[in-house]
A and B are shown apart, each in its own frame.
Chain A
Amino acid sequence: MFLFHFTIAVLQAEVFISPGFLYVAIAVTTGLIFLLVVSLLVLLLVKNSRSLKQKELQHQFKDWLVGIILEETDVDHLEFEVPHDIRKLLKNSFARQVLLQELKGLKQSLSGQPSENLEKLYRQLNLQTISCGSLQRRLWHLKSKGIQELAAMNQQGVTQDLFLLTNHKHPNVRMEAQIAMVVLKQYEGLQLFENLVYPLTEWHQIKLLQLLAHQPIPSEAAIVRWLHSSNYSVVQFALKLIGEQHALYFQEEVIACLYHTDETVRRQAIICLGYIPSARASASLKRLFACEPHKDLQLVILNELIRSGAIDDLLFLQTLQENTDIDIKLAADRATYYLLNHAVA
């Protein structure tokens, strides 16, 4: 009631609804429009100008960079030749930023000698000062940018600084730092898992798996530790890694994860066993099926039996024909069909 009377009193104050007030409001709003239109024009000019300048710089760098990439260098190689016009361009900070982005982009699609040449050029031109400078900035996106550049350019000297950022409060910074550690140190970079406070997102896990795709697991002990981590996303990641690498020797640990308290971990363990099939795996899956309370996971089990199952499992699948749940019956039918047509006994 008090609020109602107060509101009425305020609204009745003539100063708020007088024509004079409206004239002021019109003037202010018109002024703001003028400001916005000017900002628009300036923004358009700046954007167009930057875009044109960037294209021009890219064009000017192109032939020179192609030469650098194709150059055969040896251990004694000191410096790449930087033409005078390029040297002059690189006095400008915008040009250095453009070059840095070009080098980063090229590095991601090259390997071997060309890739090493780009790293050497990066160091030769002192571009790591820009990346390290970004690393020290407060703004998260600049930090992340710096991290990406340093990792792309294989700057091993900054791993200590990057490690400190792996538990940064901003999710993007810590993700980029964690990824960078793996880029630079591969499995050794994953020591951060020992103290990981925050969960790994699915996206993050995919990125790490991509980086480790061609790196065989060096240490069984580390994987076993991860499988027992209190951070369930680390367990999930370890299971994905085992599946990706078809690391059959972790089968017992994976089977133990079938009874994990977290549903996501159990799901991943089921999927993992599909990648490391064996009679023991399918027996474990069938045992789990009987006691798994979540129907979703039961369906995942039936799906994975397609990969890990054998002709011996047909009896189990046939018993499911009597199940009252249509989804279970259909999944069992599908698994039966595949096993009859594709399974190796």
Chain B
Amino acid sequence: MEFLYNLFNYGLLAYAVIMLGSYIFLGTLAIAEANNYLKKSKLTDYTLLASSPYAPSVSILAPAYNEGANIIENVRSLLNIYYNHLELIVINDGSKDDSMAKLIEAYQLEPVQVAYNPKLKTKNVKAVYKSTNPVFHKLVVIDKDNGGKADALNTGINLASHQYLVCIDVDCILEQDALLKLLKPFMDESEKKVIATGGVVRIANSCLFENGKLVEVNLPKQLLPRVQPLEYIRAFLLGRMAWSRLNGLLLISGAFGAFDRKIAIEAGGYDQSTVGEDMELVVRMRRYMAERKLPYKVTFIPDPLCWTEAPATYKILARQRNRWMRGTIETLKMHRKLFFNPKYGLLGILSYPYWFFFEFLAPVIEFTGLVIFVILAISGLINWPYFLALTAFIFIFGWLFSIFAILMEVATFNQYKKKGEVGKLIITALIEPFIFHPFIVWSSIRGIVDFLRKRNSWGEMTRQGFGAPAAKTQAKE
């Protein structure tokens, strides 16, 4: 009995030590990778890609569901992207509002007959539209029955005719040179095939946009959206940069990522049975390459190129994090064959186990620990000096890690330049464990419960829009 008690006790301690150690390890790698990237980037003339006839061709896929409030401006913003060999495919996923009518009117669309071979199964396509105005010759709009984001993206993949796919959320704002930077990694490798590249998603709340372009970066004014840039900086600048360096990146954000079209199709396209379709596709593409023993890379670029709105209320945040956890579990379950499987190299030995233990299990262990603590506290079995010392250490370590992330942000892209913004971020990092993190843990636990109950909805995501009145959207149930 004592042995089991000690095993549990020390097992948890070992888990925590490994977790903290991995954060330090990843943080160190991230510094090296970001440093390398910035030096390379300073020496690069990205405009070369904009004008060269040998630049790769790109299809931007932007699924839209009930985006009537902002769709015209969002599409205009995407059409203004600085790139030559580009087609923009907007997929109207059975919207119930006037998205389609607005698009037809604003962009002078008319239905066209397009012959293509739909390699991926999707819901019915009602019509394909192109503009009669040559100014909008890059725009293609697909009108289809509702099938969810994955289904919409697959429809876009079927129709896309270019070499690379860039999958984005239609309400994201991209920087003008986003594609130039996102596509360069595909052209930089001679020994391995780059199959996907992820980009950083930044928080747009309180930022100023004019005509679909970012004109001023501001730290979000509200507290809840303000914690999220911190979280995103940690996740993107530290986490994903490090994993990219190791070539072990499992996740490219669904809001902004580029994929090799051929490999994406051969891997089977987006899976419609999961709400974490972005992560699942990357894992499946990696498996596809690993199983055929083809050398490949999944890269990540840290430039702030994509801006999106973060949830501003706990209700919407809870839905988002619930969905993220369900997506993580679904992906881990679908690809459980990778778990410590040396056949898949780093993917199986490190990436998958890391996600399993420290992304999936972490909220479970944390929540269980909290429950046990409450029971022990009530039973008078807590060694309070020890408990307080340990809690203080964990709390301070967490704050240290966040400040390190802020330092990385200032040292690299330094988006928050206004007086006091960095200070506000540091203070936000201090209070995050009290006002944000427990809520995220709880949302993740709810996500696990919903997964076990076989709930597979996206939930309602209310968006404010970039300066527009709030518009409610509802995706596939």
Contacts and interface: CB of A to CB of B under 8 A. Distances in A.
A327 B6 CA distance: 63
A233 to B, nearest CB: 7
Interface string A199-234: 111110111011000000000000000000000010
Interface string B1-16: 0000010001001100
Contacts of A195: none
Interface string A1-39: 000000110011000010100110110011011001101
B115 interface: yes
A330 B116 contact: yes
Given A12-B6, A199-B191, A330-B117, 14 more contacts: A8-B6, A22-B389, A22-B392, A26-B389, A26-B392, A33-B399, A33-B403, A40-B403, A40-B422, A43-B411, A47-B410, A141-B40, A172-B43, A205-B54
Nearest to B3: A8
Given A33-B403, A39-B407, A206 B396 contact: no
A220 B321 CA distance: 63
Contact of A209 (B45, B54, B115): B54
Interface of B: 6, 10, 13-14, 39-40, 42-43, 45, 48-49, 52-56, 115-117, 184, 186-191, 262, 385-386, 389-390, 392-393, 396-397, 399-400, 403-404, 406-407, 410-411, 414, 422, 426
A47 B410 CA distance: 9
Interface of A: 7-8, 11-12, 17, 19, 22-23, 25-26, 29-30, 32-33, 36-37, 39-40, 43-44, 47, 108, 140-141, 144-145, 148, 172, 176, 198-203, 205-207, 209-210, 233, 240, 244, 296, 326-327, 330, 333-334
B195 to A, nearest CB: 15
B400 A148 contact: no
B39 A141 contact: yes
Q: Which of A30, A203, A296: most chain B CB closer than 10 A?
A: A203
A226 B10 CA distance: 64
Given A233-B190, A240-B54, A30 B396 contact: yes
19 contacts: A19-B385, A26-B389, A29-B397, A30-B396, A37-B403, A40-B406, A140-B39, A144-B43, A145-B43, A148-B43, A172-B40, A172-B43, A198-B190, A201-B190, A202-B188, A206-B187, A210-B48, A296-B262, A327-B117
A200 B396 contact: no
B390 A22 contact: yes
A39 B411 CA distance: 10
The list of the 10 closest CB pairs from A to B, nearest first, reads A202-B187, A141-B39, A199-B190, A22-B389, A203-B187, A11-B10, A326-B117, A29-B396, A36-B403, A201-B190
Nearest to B399: A33
Given A29-B397, A233-B190, A23 B410 contact: no
Nearest to A29: B396
Given A19-B385, A26-B393, A47-B414, A40 B407 contact: yes
Contacts of B40: 141, 172
A30 B392 CA distance: 10
Contact of B393 (A29, A148, A199, A327): A29
B37 to A, nearest CB: 11
Contacts of A333: 115
A7 B396 CA distance: 26
Contact of B14 (A11, A19, A33): A11
A39 B410 CA distance: 10
A209 B411 contact: no
Contacts of B188: 201-203
Nearest to A333: B115
Contacts of B390: 22
Contact of B115 (A25, A37, A244, A330): A330
Nearest to A47: B414
Contacts of A29: 393, 396-397, 400
B190 A206 contact: no
B265 to A, nearest CB: 11
B428 to A, nearest CB: 14
